[in-house]
């Protein structure tokens, strides 16, 4: 047990840290939302109170990401994993091929799943594993894509391998771009109009698990076949204002509070600056450790959200995680297949949390280096 007087910082990759003020608001409204006498959790999704929460969450997300009016927003269930297939069911009807860029664990899984419910060819447009053993991302200019494909799918930030695309693909000559933004949405400014579909599980940079954001360009909705069941058809959810079936009401409510929090911080532009500072601080601590800490990722592809690092041995890694945890620096263990450490420093992680981590890293190195 960590003494309760210790300041805790949660570096989990997801479900992940949420702003303290958001949790405090949720706590204060737990039993009685806005004088209704009910918790959001126990309220009908068709109640005026919840409908207003959903509407406001959508408006706030639209403002935060500057989402153009020809894009629809959905809060779906099934996680980002369900989107691996849903984008195919909705966008690939009548097409022979989709292009898929593999840059790490999640796009590799997406690639393995996308062809399962369809005869469409899932063409490997680039493979960061084969090329660089997942220590770099294949440049967009080298993707082998066809303008005739239904879309090209890629993952902008690989949560497990700690890789991120800095240069965002421009749509010229590319088919519509479908992007998994699960672990970086709202962390930096993007141009939504460059994308056909953006999807993201909420449980990293937005809210609790259970809600998945889908942002889709309107014209692409026409592609879906009548044979796709309504539950898997984006249009059926849009036509029913997100109420085709019961949405994940509580995760949507918390996501809405997070959007409000982010707007109060100054929006995505403001948080982007802080995120850059945090990542620079952490990577500098690694790079200036004289080789005691290492990160295998090429500098230009290092994730600003998920920072992986290693000490000289697996035993020391274990000690690091244990001792850091005892000091309130929680959930720093690396992904199960990766070992080492992973510090996820999403929007809600304050700069002080990263400073506490880099202080601990220096102290640990003094004792074991």
Hey, which residues are catalytic here? 106, 180, 204
**Stretch binding ligand PMP (CB under 6 A), from 77-85, 94-102, 227-235, 272-280:** 77-85
Shortest Å distance, C-beta 201 to ligand PMP: 3
**Stretch binding ligand PMP (CB under 6 A), from 75-83, 122-130, 254-262, 358-366:** 75-83
Binding to ligand PMP by residue 159, rule CB under 6 A? Answer: yes
Structural tokens at position 204: 């990293």
Task: Identify which of residues 344 and 358 has a Cβ nearer to ligand PMP in the complex.
Answer: 344
Q: Fill in the DSSP letter of residue 221.
A: G
Give the contacts of 358 (CB within 8 A, at least 6 positions apart).
281, 282, 285
Instruction: Answer whether the bond into residue 130 is a cis peptide, omega within 30°.
Output: no
Among 40, 114, 126, 155, binds ligand PMP (CB under 6 A): 155
Among 90, 182, 233, 295, binds ligand PMP (CB under 6 A): 182
Report the alpha-carbon distance of residue 206 to residue 19 in Å, rounded: 10
Report the alpha-carbon distance of residue 347 to residue 204 in Å, rounded: 9
Among 160, 128, 187, CA closest to 342: 160
Task: Identify which of residues 80 and 150 has a Cβ nearer to ligand PMP in the complex.
Answer: 80
Interface with ligand PMP in residues 11-50 (CB under 6 A): 14
Q: Are 308 and 295 in contact (CB under 8 A)?
A: yes
**Coil vs helix vs strand at 333:** strand
Pairing state between β 121-127 and 97-102? parallel
The pattern of x and - marking residues 201 through 240 that bind ligand PMP according to CB under 6 A reads x---------------------------------------
Among 10, 183, 275, 358, binds ligand PMP (CB under 6 A): 183
Q: How far is CA 233 from CA 109, 129, 215, 244, 341, in A?
A: 22, 33, 14, 10, 39
**Stretch binding ligand PMP (CB under 6 A), from 132-140, 162-170, 176-184, 318-326:** 176-184
Q: Which residues of 158-168 are buried (b: 16+ CB within 10 A; e: fewer)?
A: bbbbbbbbeee
Q: Which residue is nearest to ligand PMP (CB)?
A: 79
Task: Identify which of residues 98 and 200 has a Cβ nearer to ligand PMP in the complex.
Answer: 200
The pattern of x and - marking residues 54 through 73 that bind ligand PMP according to CB under 6 A reads --------------------
Neighbours of 3 (CB within 10 A): 8
Binding to ligand PMP by residue 187, rule CB under 6 A? Answer: no
Binding to ligand PMP by residue 162, rule CB under 6 A? Answer: no
Shortest Å distance, C-beta 304 to ligand PMP: 14
Beta bridge partners of 216: 72, 197
Among 33, 106, 309, 364, binds ligand PMP (CB under 6 A): 106
Shortest Å distance, C-beta 60 to ligand PMP: 21
Pairing state between β 212-217 and 197-201? antiparallel
Neighbours of 247 (CB within 10 A): 21
Residues that bind ligand PMP (CB under 6 A): 14, 79-81, 106, 155, 159, 180, 182-183, 201
């Amino acid at each position: 047990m960590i003494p309760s007087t210790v300041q805790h910082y949660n570096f989990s990759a997801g479900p992940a840290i949420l702003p303290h003020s958001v949790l405090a608001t949720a706590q204060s409204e737990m039993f009685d939302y806005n004088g209704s006498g009910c918790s959001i959790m126990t309220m009908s999704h068709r109640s005026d109170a919840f409908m207003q929460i959903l509407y406001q969450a959508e408006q706030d997300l639209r403002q935060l990401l500057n989402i153009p009016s020809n894009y629809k927003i959905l809060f779906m269930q099934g996680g980002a994993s369900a989107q691996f297939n849903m984008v195919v069911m909705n966008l690939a009807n009548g097409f022979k091929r989709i292009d898929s860029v593999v840059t790490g664990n999640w796009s590799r899984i997406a690639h393995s799943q996308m062809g399962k419910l369809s005869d469409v060819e899932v063409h490997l447009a680039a493979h960061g594993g084969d090329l660089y053993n997942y220590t770099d991302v294949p440049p967009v200019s080298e993707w082998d894509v066809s303008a005739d494909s239904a879309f090209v799918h890629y993952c902008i930030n690989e949560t497990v391998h700690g890789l991120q695309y800095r240069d965002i693909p421009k749509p010229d000559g590319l088919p519509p771009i479908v992007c998994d933004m699960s672990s970086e949405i709202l962390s930096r400014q993007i141009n939504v109009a460059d994308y056909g579909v953006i999807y993201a599980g909420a449980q990293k940079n937005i809210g609790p698990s259970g809600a998945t954001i889908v942002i889709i360009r309107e014209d692409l909705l026409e592609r879906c076949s009548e044979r796709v069941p309504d539950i898997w058809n984006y249009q059926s959810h849009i036509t029913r204002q997100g109420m085709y079936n019961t949405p994940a009401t509580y995760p949507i409510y918390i996501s809405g509070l997070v959007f409000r929090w982010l707007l109060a911080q100054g929006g995505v532009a403001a948080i982007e600056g802080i995120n850059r500072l945090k990542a620079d601080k952490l990577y500098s601590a690694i790079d200036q450790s004289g080789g005691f800490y290492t990160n295998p990722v090429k500098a230009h592809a290092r994730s600003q959200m998920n920072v992986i690092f290693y000490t000289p041995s697996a035993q020391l890694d274990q000690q690091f995680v244990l001792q850091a945890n005892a000091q309130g620096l929680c959930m720093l263990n690396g992904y199960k297949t990766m070992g080492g450490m992973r510090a996820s420093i999403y929007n809600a992680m304050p700069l002080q949390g990263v400073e506490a981590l880099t202080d601990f890293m220096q102290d640990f190195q003094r004792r074991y280096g």
